[in-house]
Amino acid sequence: MGSKSHLLLVSTYYLVVDTTLGAVLSIHCAKFSKMPIIIAQLAVLPPNAPAFSLFWISGVAGGASSGKSTVCKMIIDQLRDQRVVVVTQESFYYGLSDEELVHVHDYNFDHPDAFDTELLLSCMKKLQHNKAVDIPNYNFKTYKSVPSARKVNPSDVIILEGILVFHDSRVRDLMNMKIFVDTDADVRLTRRICRDTIEKGRDIKTVLDQYSKFVKPAFEDFILPTKKYADIIIPRGGDNDVAIDLIVQHIRTKLGQNDLCKMHPNLYVIQTTYQIRGMHTIIRDAATATDDFIFYADRLIRLVVEHGLGHLPFKEKQVITPTGSVYTGVEFSKRLCGISVIRSGESMENALRACCKGIKIGKILIHREGDNGQQLIYHNLPKDIANRHVLLLDPILGTGNSAVQAISLLLKKGVQEANIIFLNLISAPQGVHVVSKRFPRVKIVTSEIEFGLNDDFRVVPGMGD
């Protein structure tokens, strides 16, 4: 592969992880530079990657004997507290006919046509729709599928492993993450000889003949070209512990976010895009200038506000267009106000005013004392707040103690719990648990879930005060 820090791939992005470079993660884009741009998180995925739902699908591809199975096993071992299943592409080989069995040594098992891709796609889609499937059990000594199919149930993480899992675009589109295991050709050949002679009962001469005739050409013609679709490239396969750790960390982060949403149906995390992650990167960077921080934070806040407005009750309304036609739309069914938790909540007021012209905004000041001490010392609320829907503004949900104080005050003033929408830029799981347990009907809308709180009860990774 050459120098790991100077790889170039035309018109695509990918990550290279290598412990020999001090575990540096680099993203390459041939359109802009031949030098890698160093990034800090394993969170860059292609724009067409499926949105994260109730599970995570990872595709693991690479040449035969490159270490794909080892990588999958290491991921499973580290995700022991999650439900993980592996679906292998080898299970979907076509059974050989009697004529093909006679000339089995001339059969190319590394060609895309050797696999029943339609059956593979059908099984993956069933798993995607939370349905159990029967995976074929292919016997490499009889070259046919045996009757005892393997039952696979829907899981938190589904790993699809095989030499050509990236070849068909329909299969690729199902994957949240695509991993390519890149191992030296000599190492792969040595492993293949050991594997095929022991596990598949073949002799060394047959293995070498098939390697020269089919395996090597198929790798160059079909497998290697799919490397460009990979989000992550792992040099040296299972020997690259750092790469596995980073992949597992990324999956854990996504599963944690998802589990939180399943646990608390009142939590709404806006869909992540490159634009949103880019803005988060800017506002979290300690070196970002104040003007830039304000500009991009305001943009993010507007997105959160717009998402929050989508949870308000609407009623149907018909209007006459300039062409004289009737348009059936909707309008807010009740009045609205915003309440900012001073001081940080005031930073969200401009975005709220930009989205809701003429909206009334009240204030709540809660003094923080020590780790958990909270003292309400000031509030200025609309007199008719009991008859309004309330957008509660506080950009950071940390311990949740201030939020509990603010929401408790609103309830005392007659606001219905279901009429409160709590808007945050970032939220710690601890705060989400506290607020949701105490007020399950309050909707929480945020742009990103954090890792948690540190010993000083500060949100991490956070974005400062």
Residues 37 and 166 in one domain: yes
Q: What string of pLDDT tens digits covers the 465 residues of the chain?
A: 333 333 333 333 344 444 333 333 333 333 333 332 222 233 344 444 443 344 688 999 999 889 899 999 998 888 865 678 899 999 999 999 988 998 888 889 999 999 999 999 999 999 988 788 999 999 988 899 988 888 888 888 899 999 999 999 999 999 999 999 999 888 889 888 888 888 777 788 888 888 889 989 999 999 999 999 999 999 877 788 888 888 888 887 777 666 788 788 899 999 878 889 899 999 999 999 999 999 999 999 999 999 999 999 888 889 999 999 999 998 876 789 999 998 787 889 999 999 888 899 999 998 765 545 567 678 999 999 999 999 999 999 999 999 999 999 999 999 999 999 999 999 999 999 999 999 999 999 999 988 788 888 889 888 866
User: Could you write out the DSSP letters of every residue in 225-294?
Assistant: GGGGG-SEEEETGGG-HHHHHHHHHHHHHHHHHHHHHHH-TTEEEPPP-HHHHHHHHHHH-TT--HHHHH
Closest CA to 108 of 209, 228, 187, 224: 209
pLDDT confidence of residue 337: 94
pLDDT confidence of residue 465: 62
Residues 270 and 378 in one domain: yes
Is the residue at 57 inside a domain? yes
Distance between CA 18 and CA 271 in Å, rounded? Answer: 31
Q: For residue range 197-250, what is the model confidence (pLDDT) as tens digits?
A: 887 777 888 888 888 899 899 999 999 999 999 999 998 777 888 888 888 888
Domain end, chosen from 216, 250, 284, is at 250
Residues 187 and 297 in one domain: no
pLDDT confidence of residue 326: 94
pLDDT confidence of residue 205: 84
Is the residue at 76 inside a domain? yes
Residues 274 and 233 in one domain: no
Is the residue at 256 inside a domain? no
Question: Mean pLDDT across the chain, nearest whole number?
Answer: 83
pLDDT confidence of residue 199: 73
Residues 175 and 269 in one domain: no
Which long-range CB contacts under 8 A does 197-204 form with residues at least 24 apart? 199/140, 200/140, 200/141, 201/140, 201/141
CB 270 within 8 A of CB 446: yes
Cα 196 from chain centroid? 36
Three-state SS for 368?
strand
Phi-psi region of 2 (alpha: psi -120 to 50; beta: other; left: phi over 0): left
Single-letter amino acid code for the residue at 139: N
Residues 208 and 271 in one domain: no
pLDDT confidence of residue 369: 59
Residues 241 and 326 in one domain: no
Residues 289 and 375 in one domain: yes
CA dihedral angle for residue 55, residue 57, residue 58, residue 62, rounded to 10 degrees? 160
Q: Tell me, what CATH number does 39's domain have?
A: 3.40.50.300
Is the residue at 149 inside a domain? no
Residues 275 and 324 in one domain: yes
Distance between CA 234 and CA 27 in Å, rounded? Answer: 13
Domain end, chosen from 210, 226, 250, is at 250
Ramachandran angles phi, psi of 390, nearest 5° = -115, 130
Distance between CA 428 and CA 399 in Å, rounded? Answer: 7
Residues 224 and 298 in one domain: no
Secondary structure element (H or E) that encloses residue 144, with its range: strand 144-152
Residues 324 and 413 in one domain: yes
Is the residue at 8 inside a domain? no
Distance between CA 296 and CA 289 in Å, rounded? Answer: 11
Q: Are strands 336-342 and 389-393 parallel, antiparallel or unpaired?
A: parallel
- Return the structure tokens found at 120: 């593979």
Is the residue at 379 inside a domain? yes
Is the residue at 3 inside a domain? no
216: number of CA atoms within 13 Å, CB side? Answer: 12
Is the residue at 71 inside a domain? yes
Q: Which domain holds residue 414?
A: 264-460
Phi-psi region of 223 (alpha: psi -120 to 50; beta: other; left: phi over 0): alpha
Strand partners, 362: 339
Residue linked to tokens 């009757």: 147
Q: Domain total for the chain? A: 2
Q: Tell me, what CATH number does 323's domain have?
A: 3.40.50.2020
Domain end, chosen from 228, 250, 272, is at 250
Distance between CA 435 and CA 408 in Å, rounded? Answer: 11
Ramachandran angles phi, psi of 122, nearest 5° = -65, -45
Residues 231 and 342 in one domain: no
Cα 158 from chain centroid? 13
Closest CA to 345 of 290, 420, 395, 283: 395
Give first-to-last CA distance, the chain, whole Å: 44
**DSSP single-letter state for residue 27:** E
Name, in order, each residue with C-beta under 8 angstroms of 232's C-beta and a sequence gap of 6 or more.
14, 15, 17, 42, 177, 178, 179, 180, 243, 247
Distance between CA 119 and CA 93 in Å, rounded? Answer: 10
pLDDT confidence of residue 228: 94
pLDDT confidence of residue 253: 77
Which is it for the CA torsion 350, 355, 360, 363, positive or negative? negative
CB atoms within 10 A of CB 206: 15
pLDDT confidence of residue 13: 36
Closest CA to 396 of 331, 362, 446: 446
Burial (CB count <10 Å: 0-12, 13-18, 19+), residue 360:
middle
